[in-house]
Amino acid sequence: MGKVRPASIKRLAYQIFQQYYDRVSLDYAQNKKLVLEVSTTRAKHLLNRVSGYLTKLAKRYKAPEVAAQAKA
- At residue 33, does pLDDT exceed 70? yes
Mean of all residue pLDDT scores within the chain: 91
Model confidence at 41, pLDDT cuts 50, 70, 90, reads confident
Domain count, the chain: 1
Q: Are 16 and 59 in contact (CB under 8 A)?
A: no
Answer yes or no: is 50 within a domain: yes
Instruction: Report yes or no on 2 lying in a domain.
Output: no
CA–CA dist 62, 25 (Å, integer):
8
CA distance linking residue 63 with residue 27, whole number of Å: 11
Q: Which CATH number goes with the domain that contains 27? A: 1.10.60.20
52 belongs to a structural domain: yes
Query: Are the C-beta atoms of 27 and 8 separated by less than 8 Å?
Result: no
